[in-house]
Amino acid sequence: MTYRMGAHSTSDDPSRYRPKGEIETWKKKDPILRLRRYLEKQKLWDDKKETALLEEVQEEVTKAIQVAKETPNPSLKTLVEDVYHDIPETLQKQYDDLKQLFPEES
Catalytic residue numbers read 4, 8, 17
Q: How far apart are CA 19 and CA 7, in angstroms?
A: 14
Is residue 80 classed as helix, strand or coil in its secondary structure? Answer: helix
The CA radius of gyration of the chain, in Å to the nearest whole number, is 23
Q: Can you say whether the dihedral through the CA atoms of 91, 95, 96, 100 is positive or negative?
A: positive
The residue count of the chain comes to: 106
